[in-house]
Structure 1
Amino acid sequence: MFTLSLNGFAVLLSAAAQGMLGAVWYMGVIPKPYALALGRTDLVGRKPEPLFIAGPQVCMLVVTLGNAMLLRALHIDAMPDALVFGALSGVGYIVATVFNVAINPNIPRPLLYGVINAPYFLVSNLVSCAILTAMA
């Protein structure tokens, strides 16, 4: 049987850190370019609906749980290895998915969408892996 022991506090802290990073990124650093990429400049400066706060936080919790399980299953416990894992999974899965989501008819500026979203997801994945490894 396959079982993993995870540090629940580290998982919650990692997800919270990703949420805070997301708030800084999307509400402080790139709100105008993000709205432009979505073709929704009417949203700049408006308070986001609860779904747009809670939804990403739940998604980051899922990503964090995935990272925690993979780091443990792969016996990655050294910070340099965790950061390599975070970079590989960040680029190979998350950044690629960001660009894949961007390439649809509902995103008027797909390249801009990918370019401004990808750094957040890559950095947040690295932060997640670092926190999970530091607290393992």
Structure 2
Amino acid sequence: MFTLSINWLAVLLSTVALQMLGAAWFMGVIPKPYALALERTDLVDRKPEPIFIAGPLLCGLVVTVANAILLRSFHIDTMPDALVFGAISGIGYLVATVFNVAINPNIPRPVLYGAINAPYFLLSNLVSCAILTAMP
């Protein structure tokens, strides 16, 4: 049977950190380029609906739990190793998925969409891995 203990306080703190980083990124750093990538200038300065707050929170929790399980499973317990893992999984899964989502007919400017979203997902994964490793 597979059993693995993870630090749920670290998971909670990481999830909150990702939510705060996401709010700063999408509401403070890139709101205009994001709207431009979607050709939806009506989104700028618009208050987000509850799903746009709860959805990323839940997704951040899922990513954080996955990171916690993988870091423990691979016995990654030093910050440099955690950041390498975060970079590899961030680029290999999250950044690649952002660009894959972007290249569909509903995203009018896929390269811009990927270019402005990918850095957040890579950075958030690095932050998640750092918090989880700092709080074993």
**TM-score for both structures, normalised by structure 1:** 0.99
Tell me what 1:56 maps to.
56
Q: Matched residues in 2 for 1:18 and 1:121: separation? A: 9
**Residue 67 (structure 1) aligns with:** 67
Aligned residues: 136
Is 2:54 aligned against 1:40?
no
Alignment of 1:123-134 (within 5 A): 123-134=123-134
Task: Please state how far the C-alpha of 1:72 moved relative to its aligned partner.
Answer: 0.3
Q: Distance in 1 between matches of 2:15 and 2:65?
A: 9
Unaligned 5+ residue runs, structure 2?
A: none
Structure 1 CA distance, aligned partners of 2:100 and 2:118? 11
Letter in 2 for 1:122: L
How far apart are 1:15 and its partner, in Å? 0.6
Structure 1 moving runs of 4+ over 4 Å? none
TM-score, normalising length from structure 2? 0.99
RMSD of aligned alpha carbons: 0.4
Amino acid at match of 2:95: V
Identity %: 79
Task: Tell me the amino acid that sits aligned with residue 105 of structure 1.
Answer: P
Unaligned residue ranges in structure 1 (runs of 5+): none
The aligned counterpart of 2:12 is: 12
